[in-house]
Chain A
Amino acid sequence: MQIHVKVNEVDYVHEVEPRLLLVHYLRDVLRLTGTHIGCETSVCGACTVHINKKAAKSCTLLAVQADGCEITTIEGLASNGDLHPLQESFRENHGLQCGFCTPGIIMTAADFIQQIPDPSEEDIRHAIKGNLCRCTGYHNIITSIKQAATKMKEEVTV
């Protein structure tokens, strides 16, 4: 079946098998390998991307379901070569170690900060509970997201 998608601002048309998962389409067909696969039960969140600007787990979507959608992956988060404030902040605060869960967490957080620009620690923990990290104990992830949110809010106010 033919699908038309826009991924990271680029239009693609591909013929795909209906059972092809969106995450495999992104990784194997488009070779956008920043979106990872960590489980098969829609729990770990390593595969999180934005579909029409909302966070979704691309392992629990068929590529055909994304037909006509706009998709953003971690590779498309930086704009004009400038890192997204979350990307900056994760580096600044040691919010990652092995880096495998990181793209998914950043994508989830990017959606969430849009909705709650001034999140508390509890808000952040609640927002990213659909993303598993085994390295950091989440401490520095919380700090990273909090700092990015503050920075983004300041930018908006300015």
Chain B
Amino acid sequence: MIPVAFEYRKAQTVEDAIGLLSGGETKLLAGGYSLLPSMKLRLNQPSKLIDISNIPSLKGIKEENGNVIINAGTTHYEIGHHEIIKKHLPFFVDAVHVIGDVQVRNRGTIGGSLAHADPAADWPALVLAAEAIIEVMGRGGIRSIPANEFFTGLFSTQIKEDEIITAIRVPIPRESSKMAYLKFSHPASRFAIVGCAVIRFPGDKTNIAFTGIADTPFRDYAAEQAVSGKSLDLASIESALSVAVNVENLLSDNFASQSYRKHLAKVYLKRALQLVV
């Protein structure tokens, strides 16, 4: 299919891009792997596209004040192969391995994925579990949105019309933190039917986040509470499972009904927890 005709502009800087975000049906184009398929099917018909893929400040990963800063235009591939990520956030590497396919990972960006907010995308679970901050910039200046406030529903986020995600700031977990990302993929799309990200810090504080299960990715605070500060054994894991995934708006499709998704989520939580013992 062919998208409906649109105006195309290339932004050189973030400020440039914000200036071009003149309301109406304007969309930002980064890797294009989320936006273009929906435009080709004419489910999305923006009148203007602003290409932000060549903005230098949106590229790259660095370590700064105890945080890993992943600029929004960094591709999945670059994240998965970066030494800083491998060292501090190995579960991001696990996630990259199971995002889409090679071609998607080469072009798709973390910022594009988060802004698209597909309920079955992988990154949401990771940024939620890692307590990342999503940095956005707009005419009103810079905002830092904690991941657990960022996602507001199906394909929707806190980002305003004139805002751009500039970076993802991830607090570096203390040394000897353990983390895991496990995914049960939809056989056709390879999006997550269940994606479960778990991070266990020294002192046994445990963060748990899910994607793929409901219309919005979420932190599972009840399950976290059941295992945080306790040793991870059969009993604590069992108690986490008994309270986990207590959410509404569960997704369902030909491959996984709501009840099966919920069951799978618990199995995957158990397996993820066993990996961070």
Classify chain B: how many residues form its interface, as a range.
20 to 34
Q: Which residues of B contact A18 (CB under 8 A)?
A: 5-8, 49
Q: A-B pairs with the 7 shortest C-beta distances?
A: A130-B101, A18-B8, A54-B106, A57-B103, A19-B3, A40-B1, A60-B36
B33 contacts A by Cβ under 8 Å: yes
A32 contacts B by Cβ under 8 Å: no
Q: Which residues of A contact B29 (CB under 8 A)?
A: 62, 65
B234 contacts A by Cβ under 8 Å: no
21 contacts between A and B (CB under 8 A): A1-B8, A17-B5, A18-B6, A19-B3, A40-B40, A41-B37, A42-B37, A43-B188, A43-B189, A51-B107, A54-B106, A56-B106, A57-B104, A60-B37, A62-B8, A62-B29, A62-B36, A65-B32, A111-B102, A128-B102, A130-B100
Q: Which residues of A contact B36 (CB under 8 A)?
A: 42, 60-62
Q: Is the CB of B103 within 8 A of A108?
A: yes
Residue from the list B6, B53, B104 in contact with A19, Cβ < 8 A: B6
B277 contacts A by Cβ under 8 Å: no
Distance from A117 Cβ to chain B, minimum over Cβ atoms (Å):
16
- Taking CB atoms and an 8 Å cut-off, the chain B residues in 4-20 that contact chain A are 4-8, 10
B51 contacts A by Cβ under 8 Å: yes
A48 contacts B by Cβ under 8 Å: yes
Q: Which residues of A contact B51 (CB under 8 A)?
A: 64-65
Residue from the list A54, A64, A67, A129 in contact with B101, Cβ < 8 A: A129
How distant is the Cα of A122 from the Cα of B122 in the complex, in angstroms? 22
How distant is the Cα of A28 from the Cα of B51 in the complex, in angstroms? 24
Given A45-B103, A62-B8, 20 more A-B residue pairs with CB atoms under 8 Å apart are A18-B7, A19-B2, A40-B41, A41-B37, A42-B104, A43-B188, A43-B189, A45-B101, A48-B103, A54-B77, A57-B103, A57-B104, A60-B36, A61-B36, A64-B10, A65-B51, A111-B106, A128-B102, A129-B190, A130-B103
Distance from B51 Cβ to chain A, minimum over Cβ atoms (Å):
6
Q: Which residues of B contact A67 (CB under 8 A)?
A: 10
By beta carbon, the residue of chain B nearest A131 is B101
Classify chain A: how many residues form its interface, as a range.
20 to 34
How distant is the Cα of A117 from the Cα of B7 in the complex, in angstroms? 43
Q: Which residues of A contact B190 (CB under 8 A)?
A: 129
Distance from B52 Cβ to chain A, minimum over Cβ atoms (Å):
11
How distant is the Cα of A112 from the Cα of B105 in the complex, in angstroms? 12
Q: Which residues of A contact B33 (CB under 8 A)?
A: 42, 60
A24-67 contact mask (Cβ, 8 Å, vs B): 1 or 0: 00000000000000001111010010010011110111101101
Q: Is the CB of A55 within 8 A of B1?
A: no
Q: Is the CB of B8 within 8 A of A55?
A: no
Q: Which residues of A contact B100 (CB under 8 A)?
A: 130
Q: Which residues of B contact A42 (CB under 8 A)?
A: 33, 36-37, 103-104
- Taking CB atoms and an 8 Å cut-off, the chain B residues in 25-72 that contact chain A are 29, 32-33, 36-37, 40-41, 49, 51, 53
Q: Is the CB of A62 within 8 A of B32?
A: yes
How distant is the Cα of A128 from the Cα of B102 in the complex, in angstroms? 8
A141 contacts B by Cβ under 8 Å: no
Q: Which residues of B contact A55 (CB under 8 A)?
A: 102-103, 106
How distant is the Cα of A108 from the Cα of B37 in the complex, in angstroms? 20
A127 contacts B by Cβ under 8 Å: yes
How distant is the Cα of A2 from the Cα of B188 in the complex, in angstroms? 37
Q: Is the CB of A130 within 8 A of B102?
A: yes
A21 contacts B by Cβ under 8 Å: yes
Residue from the list A19, A51, A108 in contact with B102, Cβ < 8 A: A108
Q: Which residues of A contact B102 (CB under 8 A)?
A: 55, 108, 111-112, 127-128, 130
How distant is the Cα of A61 from the Cα of B40 in the complex, in angstroms? 11
How distant is the Cα of A90 from the Cα of B10 in the complex, in angstroms? 40
By beta carbon, the residue of chain A nearest B97 is A126
By beta carbon, the residue of chain A nearest B189 is A43
Q: Which residues of B contact A57 (CB under 8 A)?
A: 103-104, 107
Distance from A12 Cβ to chain B, minimum over Cβ atoms (Å):
18
